[in-house]
Chains A and B, each alone.
Chain A
Amino acid sequence: MIQRFLKSREAILLAAIFALTALIWTRFPGFVEPANLARVFNDTSPLIILAMGQMVVILTRCIDLSVAANLALSGMVVAMINAAFPGIPIPLLLALAVGMGAVMGSINGLLVWKLDIPPIVVTLGTMTIYRGFIFLISKGSWINAHQMSPAFKDLPRADLFGLPVLSWIAIVVVLGFLLLTSRTALGRSFFAVGGNPHAAVYTGINVGRTQCIAFIISGALAGLTGYLWVARYAVAYVDIAGGFELDVVAACVIGGISIAGGIGSVGGALLGALFLGIVKNALPVVDISPFWQLAISGGAIIIAVAFNSGSLRSKGRVILRKAEHTA
């Protein structure tokens, strides 16, 4: 059991995270202080939440490139509502953000399910559509800190047992996904659909429907993150979280979620997101030329993915060798 864990992708990633943190510690000792690590976790929370949603989508052999645009649109809508009607209670806005996100996710899902369009095409399209909508409703103007009510801005940063609410939401989402993927029929069907769609059909799983549900989950989480994002940075404009969908996909890929579907774990996605989050937060403090920063974060992704494909390939070889022996 322990041996199996040590060989697993999660263990390698965990070791890489420790090595990375140690490396940062030699250049900036303050980074490993508990308060700072908590801050890094909090900063990475939106990425963790989105990576969970993206994970189930990728498990079913799909990809959701519209998460960042979905996030931005949901965030803009709740920010505009809050600016216009500051009296509306925050839980209601939160529910609205999640609901809007789910609706946008279901549009992706239905297009993939009912019209059988490749997910990368669908979400590439909806990504620009959702961004366009933000421009339409906001006319390109910003919703600024002074227009948002204090309650709206305070929720993600409110302190609960020493951690901000934003961090707690990420923790709850991760625990929820642990339960979902290991203890529910739906969670297992994500793996089945991605692993072998034809076999999944024979076991009575509706492949399209499962993929659609994965998109709805991803969308709902993007909506939730939309509110958290605009409240945390106290600003909403057309380009918020621009390009963030690639970070989310990268977190999943680093975490060992196979783009081919069917392989992956909640722990992997969590560690992948944390790895990226640590790199992003460390780069500003380790005094590396900004011209190098992009190259370094890109390099980290390539190395992680190389590890991933390397470990998969060796598995294939083992099977072949066994086959040779039996023959």
Chain B
Amino acid sequence: MSVMKKILSTVAVTATFFAGAAQAEDMRIALVVKALGIGFFEAAAKGAEEAAAELGDVEIIYTGPTDTTAEGQIEVINALIAQQVDAIAISANDTDALVPALKKAMDRGITVISWDSGVAPEGRELQLNPSSSPLIGNMIIKLAADNLPDGGDVAVLSATTTSTNQNVWIEEMNKVAGNYPGINVVATVYGDDLADKSYREAEGLMQTYPDLKAIIAPTSVGIVAAAQAVTDAGKIGEVNVTGLGLPSEMAGHVESGASKSFAIWNPIDLGYSATMLAYNLAKGNAEAAPGAEIPMGRMGTLTLDENTEGAMADPFVYDASNIEEFKSIF
């Protein structure tokens, strides 16, 4: 297995080396992903290519290990250092394990940023988060409100009572709930990320609140189960299910109308933004320091906080118009 892995990564590295040699004058930005062959990252690579085409003088090296290990990524990073690429944008398999290798890269003058899954601050210049808790909190209630022009009762179906992510998002949602007049958040229930419990909780919500207009489920198990419960209760059109989910998992429920729209990050935008940021840093157009604002093309600018982290944008909204395109991606 490990021999096989070595051979495979050597082949990958050799391939990228030759590709790199062909156009030496361009800026070479390596997009390092958790593992090759994952739809989400293939889509990010598509976004990176889009950015490269827009910038003109950029060549993208899309690479990564064959399985999601930190060791595999370290090998890839060392190979990229040997090739003297101009920038590395990485989605890390481990927050700390990659730091020494990435430090070495930075010592050689390579611009290093992390995106999606971050690296500890000493191993990168900045971290690009797909979104931020306040943006997500606002987005999930906005999705419900957008389909309720006259207002109405909405309820939240979360994961477990102790899920950090979901609790923070719901907290942020409640902070901005006042901006959506007429929308009453009547309850928060917990489906424990189990299909059967989430389904039952969704049924319970529809019984307890007969006028319920929307269920907001910021969890991928919950949103699918709630959509199925609404379908089985014959309440498609009356109760809209929204929240955070994956296009591949929600396609059927968007088609049936149980969910009018939902959100999650857009991997294409993420790859695009990571490339733009790496380009601007490597060119010296911007400096990665707390409070800095770094342009990222059509995605606007990234504002860095005290940990040199920044949030790209609102989660991307998926609905009947684009679900077909994205359901095969991730």
Given contacts A28-B208, A145-B224, A284-B189, are A233 and B251 in contact (CB under 8 A)? Answer: no
In the complex, A287 has a CB within 8 A of chain B: yes
Nearest CB on A from B111, distance (A): 33
A to B contact number (C-beta, < 8 Å): 73
**Binary per-residue interface labels of chain B (245-259) against chain A in the complex, 1 for a CB within 8 Å, 0 otherwise:** 000111111011000
Residue from B161, B201, B225, B250 within 8 A of A284 (CB atoms): B201
Interface range, A side: 20 to 34
Q: From A144, which residue of chain B is reached at the shortest CB distance?
A: B249
Are the C-beta atoms of B204 and A142 separated by less than 8 Å? Answer: no
Q: In the complex, what residues of B have CB within 8 A of residue A284's CB?
A: 189, 200-201, 203-205, 208
Q: Which of A36, A287, A290 lies at the interface centre, i.e. has the most chain B CB atoms within 10 A of its CB?
A: A290
Are the C-beta atoms of B195 and A240 separated by less than 8 Å? Answer: yes
In the complex, A234 has a CB within 8 A of chain B: yes
Are the C-beta atoms of B228 and A234 separated by less than 8 Å? Answer: yes
In the complex, A241 has a CB within 8 A of chain B: yes
Q: From B246, which residue of chain A is reached at the shortest CB distance?
A: A142
**Binary per-residue interface labels of chain B (106-137) against chain A in the complex, 1 for a CB within 8 Å, 0 otherwise:** 00000000000000000000000000000000
Are the C-beta atoms of B189 and A43 separated by less than 8 Å? Answer: no
Q: Chain B interface secondary structure, helix, strand, loop or mixed? A: helix
**Binary per-residue interface labels of chain A (277-305) against chain B in the complex, 1 for a CB within 8 Å, 0 otherwise:** 00011011101001100000000000000
Given contacts A39-B203, A284-B189, are A142 and B252 in contact (CB under 8 A)? Answer: no
Which residues, 217 to 236 on A, are CB-close (under 8 Å) to B? 229, 233-235
Are the C-beta atoms of A291 and B228 separated by less than 8 Å? Answer: no
Residue from A28, A233, A285 within 8 A of B228 (CB atoms): A233
In the complex, A30 has a CB within 8 A of chain B: yes
Q: From B160, which residue of chain A is reached at the shortest CB distance?
A: A290
Q: In the complex, what residues of B have CB within 8 A of residue A235's CB?
A: 195, 224-225, 228, 249
Are the C-beta atoms of B252 and A234 separated by less than 8 Å? Answer: yes
Query: How far apart sit A229 and B195, CA to CA, in the bound complex (Å)?
Result: 10
Which residues, 241 to 291 on B, are CB-close (under 8 Å) to A? 248-253, 255-256
Nearest CB on A from B237, distance (A): 17
Q: Interface on A for B, CB 8 Å cutoff?
A: 28, 30, 36, 39, 43, 142, 144-147, 157, 229, 233-235, 237, 239-244, 280-281, 283-285, 287, 290-291
A-B contacts, 20 listed (Cβ < 8 Å): A30-B207, A36-B207, A142-B248, A144-B249, A144-B250, A144-B252, A145-B224, A145-B251, A146-B251, A233-B199, A233-B228, A234-B228, A235-B225, A241-B194, A281-B203, A283-B204, A284-B200, A284-B201, A284-B205, A285-B204
